[in-house]
Structure 1
Amino acid sequence: MPTETDHAAAAARRGPGPARTAVQLADGRELLYFDDVPGLDRSAPDQRVLPPHAPRSEVRYDPVQGEWVVVAAHRQDRTHLPAPGECPLCPSAPGRQTEIPASGYHVVAFENRFPTLGGPPAGGRCEVVCFTDDHESSFSRLTDRRLETVARAWTDRTVELSRLPGVEYVFVFENRGPEIGATLQHPHGQIYAFPYLPARVARALDMARAYRAEHRSCLFCSVVAAEEAAERVVARTDGFVAFVPEAARWPYEVHIYPRRHVGGLPELEPAEQAELMSLYRDVLARFDRLFDAPAPYMAHFQQAPAGPDAGLAHLSARIFTSRRAPGKLKYLAASESGAGAFINDVLPEQAARRLREAGTRPPG
């Protein structure tokens, strides 16, 4: 994991960045405003009457699979597909107070009111990150300036959350669409600060460790080199490449890697952050052009863990949709959910070709 000195040096290179204002919500949770420009008044108080925030999650160990499982029964009461005008992520307005006290905002990050993690039993922390106050927008429609603010918010939270006692892994992700279980339509993502190393992350690091021991080089760098020479590349920039992996599990799945070996978002230079965010936005827009409706998708960033294995990691963004054809979704069968044996109905080379072609079509 990068040291405090590394983080400080990276912050100095990035410059002052957008304005950052911390406030406290009515139940004691922290909320942070990240603004595109400085000087905005963020003093509006949370006027709701809420009980003190007290997460009740538990972390339990499965000795057969060797994996940790989070039990968060209180999440049964979380907001689910609210009616129009009742979105808790929209700005507050007279007569209707939401999770964000301000009447307008650029980017906000705040502790989840119904967190998967947090509290003494489980440890860790869960945050929500809203990308815009426009309920009808999407990540693929954000401006360049807003992309910079989102990237700096993600970087800020990665650094701060990795400092929390007991946190081993910071996971930045976004779910969009009721088809994949997203319960809120407003453009947002989440960040989990895990008190353990998630199973798939641990498995990838095991593979990277074994590869380094045999080849004296980075597994992920070798994957990037091999994929760049194949026919599954979707888009490129000077420093990054987006491709459909050879063994894609999902009908349309894209991984974005920096060619330079970096472990996480805090290690990127300002120009690299802008490049990554622009390519990420481009890929999401291509997903939306595949079919006749916006794509439901899951996206996440793989970053370096805390501890001695940090040097094995290689930053990547990974995006996939469960839509395999117009009006058809991929559901996990027993072989996939039960045995972990994925079956892909779309040839990865065909998926890459369709995504390349989607980049030449106008939106809408």
Structure 2
Amino acid sequence: MLFRKSKSVVEMRELRYNPLTGQWVMVSAVRRKRPWRPKNFCPFCPGEEETGYGWEVLLLPNRFPMLSFDAPRPERGGFYRKARALGQCSVIVETPEHDVKDLDGLSLDAMTRVVELWKNITAELKKNPGIAYVSIFRNKGEEIGVSLTHPHGQLYAMPFIPLKVRLKIENSRSHFRRTGECLFCRILREEMEGERAIYENRSFAVFLPFFANWPFEIHIYPKRHVQWLTQLAEEELMDLADALRTATGTLNTVLERDMPYTMMVYQAPFKGSYDFYHLHIEFYPILRDNGKIKYAAGIEMGTWDFTYDGVPEENAEKLRKACRKVVKRIDAKGRCFT
């Protein structure tokens, strides 16, 4: 029998539950229509239909969303669970300037405006009873699959808590019950006393973690125990902007080329109490050397357990050397570790 695509299939948007892993899979037929690096046109530049003029940082609705507040209700029945793909997918246009290559190319004031937007949209979405978690992330580089090169990040406001976040919550809760301390605070203390520390300012620390998956993986932790961006004071937002500029500049210097990466901001979920949790940011750079990609292949894809191609402490030393160059170039507010 020939299967014909109805309009409902073409526009399908729903959540599908994986009973083996406990994950929700976001299904959206609309995503197939995304443009791929259009020539002579950028929808995020000033003066375009969605952007207009007179802005410094901009939050736009994603035109090809995985999640939407008007998502249809899926059909019921059968063995597998489905749910409405309720939520919000947004694009965070970080600057009007098209040719800025990364966050280290923004001024401190411009980067501060970006993290202020992160804070403000988090505060707004926390009020929505249908949202359980907000993911703020950034993809950079053609190797990652970025379809538009204008500097931008993304936001997914989700009706569920992602599996990786649930695992972090479970482990940090267990550690707190055993020891009475925040697991993240303990990790921060361990890393800043060791040879994997890279940079710090008044409020934030940057390091390559003991348990890194990616060769030049970088984490950013606030020194103060907070769960959400909404808890950061004005001076802490500026320090976060400084740490992000320094971290991306370091990644773009360590191999003397632009580093493709994915960045994720991890906050606590919106529903429930998470005093044991800790706001943090993780960068997953995919190069292990210049021109050599660290592929998440057989063992990583099959087991979710990573192999590390090298020695973390040696790569941390390379990052520290790169950091020292970057601190001078961007006039960073903190200090690199030696």
TM-score (ref. length: structure 1): 0.81
How many percent of aligned residue pairs carry the same amino acid?
35
Structure 1 partner of 2:25: 69
Aligned to 1:8: none
Correspondence list, 1:131-170, <5 A: 131-137=94-100, 138-170=102-134
Alpha-carbon separation, structure 2, partners of 1:333 and 1:56: 30
**Partner in structure 2 of residue 117 of structure 1:** 67
Which residue identity lines up with residue 91 of structure 2 in the other structure? V
Give 5+ residue unaligned stretches, structure 2.
1-9, 72-83, 331-338
Greater shift in the superposed pair: 107-116 or 141-150 = 141-150
**Residue of 65, 68, 90 corresponding to 1:127:** 90
Alignment of 1:265-304 (within 5 A): 265-304=229-268
C-alpha separation in 1, matches of 2:290 and 2:315: 14
Corresponding letter in the other structure for 1:134: E
Kindly tell me the number of residue pairs found equivalent between the two proteins.
305
Q: Distance in 2 between matches of 1:240 and 1:106?
A: 25
The residue number in structure 1 matching 2:6 is none
Shift of 1:153: 0.7
Equivalent pair of 1:171/1:300 in contact (CA under 8 Å): yes
* Residue 226 of structure 2 is aligned to residue 262 of structure 1: yes
CA distance in 2, matches of 1:147, 1:326: 27
Among residues 103, 113, 120, which one is paired with 2:53 in the alignment? 103
* Worse-superposed segment, 288-297 or 178-187: 288-297
Q: CA deviation at 1:140?
A: 1.0
Q: Distance in 2 between matches of 1:222 and 1:111?
A: 38
Poorly superposed stretches of 4+, deviation over 6 Å: none
Amino acid at match of 2:42: C
Contact kept, 8 Å, 1:162 with 1:193, in 2: the verdict is no
**What do residues 13-60 of structure 1 show as CA deviations (whole Å, max 9, x unaligned)?**
xxxxxxxxxxxxxxxxxxxxxxxxxxxxxxxxxxxxxxxxx9742111
Q: Secondary structure at the match of 2:190?
A: helix
Q: Is there any run of 5+ residues in structure 1 with no aligned partner, and where?
A: 1-53
Equivalent residue of 2:122, what SS?
helix
Instruction: Look up the SS of the partner of 2:169 in the other structure.
Output: helix
CA distance in 2, matches of 1:306, 1:312: 14
What amino acid sits opposite 2:57 in the alignment? V
Distance in 2 (alpha carbons) for counterparts of 1:71 and 1:105? 33
List per-residue Cα deviations over 1:182-226 (Å, max 9, x = no partner). 111110000111110000000000001111111112111111111
Following superposition, the deviation at residue 103 of structure 1 comes to: 3.5
Asked whether the 8 Å contact 1:62–1:69 carries over to 2, the reply is yes
Instruction: Determine the structure 1 residue equivalent to 2:164.
Output: 200
TM-score normalised to structure 2 length:
0.87
Q: Deviations over 1:76-135 (max 9, x none)?
A: 11111111x21111122xxxx4431x1353100011110121133310111100011111
CA RMSD, Structure 1 to Structure 2 (Å): 1.7
- Are the counterparts in 2 of residues 264 and 304 from structure 1 also a CA contact under 8 Å? yes
User: Does 141-150 or 259-268 show the bigger shift?
Assistant: 141-150
SS class of match (1:180)? coil
Where does residue 334 of structure 2 map in the other structure? none
Match of 2:50, as an amino acid? E
